[in-house]
Amino acid sequence: MAIILDGKSLAKKIRQQLKSEVNQFVEKGLRNPSLAVILVGNDPASEVYVKNKRKACEEVGINSLYIHLSEDTPEEELLRIIDKLNKDEDVDGILVQLPLPKHIDTQKVITSISPEKDVDGFHPENVGKLSTGMKDGIIPCTPLGIWILLKEYGIETFKKDVVIVGASNIVGKPMGLLFLRNEEATVTICHKNTKDLRKYTEEADILVVAVGKPNLITADMVKRDVVVVDVGINRLEDGRLVGDTDFENIKEKAFAITPVPGGVGPMTVASLLINTVSVYRQKFGYPKHPLTDV
Ligand code: NAP
């Protein structure tokens, strides 16, 4: 039976640690860190994500400035708001909840956020820093959270064969880049046009799945003692929340596996807090947060 990589507990521990760090800064006379969260429209899943992120901010002492805009907000209006937040000295981080309504150019919006305040790590400058190995960029939250979770459990990544299923800009690609840093692991990224997915998943020492399809990866597609990181979040018709892998059967074969819920999700939110505190620290002349030192 596999080790269950308990992201929920670790995220809680990280929040407690951040809370006491923030307290220490405030006791020194600094203001609290702050994160601006922008939601455009009323997508129910996005509303839940935003609520969770703001609740987590509150718990550790990060002020969250919530800007909820209507679905039909013009792109120029959103860009104007971001510009104002970029210039606001009291705002450390800016997060625009994705997906955005169709009439808004997502990449344009991401690029309009100041790279220093881009706590999601999606700005091309931060992506470029991640891909060239520069350590002063901001790492996207889900890959950072996964990395911290693997390290907490002592999962060896050096010289491992890592297979990532899903090639999104948010998860798959930056996850691959993180494993490639310092020539740490050998990385294969699969996507919907991959000819024979099983051929790759069967070889993986570490398998990260980020697609959004329940049961995409079954126990017969992985080797014994694999480490499985399931990023997927899927709501079934009966209301259950599941990932992209057959957790019940794979856990009998794997060395370690993340549950859904309670695995990657809470670590993603924890990483958002880490990135925000890290930006705040640097603004006041302190080194970046040690947990971002990947
Ligand atoms: P996305 O942008 O839709 O990307 C999905 C990726 O999977 C794309 O690269 C897509 O390929 C690929 N894909 C589609 N069908 C495939 C198949 N049959 N085999 C292999 N690859 C396939 O999604 P995302 O934002 O990365 O999110 C993926 C999942 O993770 C979703 O369920 C999302 O809700 C979840 N998620 C969870 C967290 C968390 O914190 N737990 C964070 C972010 C996302 P193409 O690019 O070629 O279409």
**Residue with the nearest Cα to atom 35 of ligand 1?**
232
Q: State the pLDDT at residue 154.
A: 98
Catalytic (active-site) positions: 53, 97, 120
pLDDT tens string 140-152: 999 999 999 999 9
Q: How confident is the model at residue 239 (pLDDT cuts 50, 70, 90)?
A: very high
Give the nearest ligand 1 atom to 172 CA: 26
Q: What is the CATH number of the domain that holds 212?
A: 3.40.50.720
Q: What is the per-residue DSSP string for 156-187? A: --TT-EEEEE---TTTHHHHHHHHHGGG-SEE
Query: Are 99 and 208 contained in the same domain?
Result: no
Which domain does 101 fall in, by range? 29-115
Q: What is the CATH number of the domain that holds 89?
A: 3.40.50.10860
Buried b (16+ CB within 10 A) or exposed e, 160-172: bbbbbbbbeebbb
Q: Tell me the average pLDDT across 115-125.
A: 98
Q: How confident is the model at residue 91 (pLDDT cuts 50, 70, 90)?
A: very high
Task: Evaluate if residue 183 carries a pLDDT over 90.
Answer: no
Fill in the amino acid letter for 73: T
**Residue with the nearest Cα to atom 24 of ligand 1?**
168
Say how many Å lie between the CA of residue 233 and the centre of ligand 1. 9
Q: State the pLDDT at residue 203.
A: 98
Q: Which residue has the tokens 């080790």?
A: 3
Say how many Å lie between the CA of residue 173 and the centre of ligand 1. 11
Q: State the pLDDT at residue 182.
A: 79
Query: Are 151 and 258 contained in the same domain?
Result: yes
Query: Are 160 and 246 contained in the same domain?
Result: yes
**Number of domains making up the chain:** 2
Say how many Å lie between the CA of residue 77 and the centre of ligand 1. 29
Query: Are 80 and 38 contained in the same domain?
Result: yes
Give the nearest ligand 1 atom to 216 CA: 18
Task: Evaluate if residue 135 carries a pLDDT over 90.
Answer: yes
What's the whole-model pTM score? 0.97
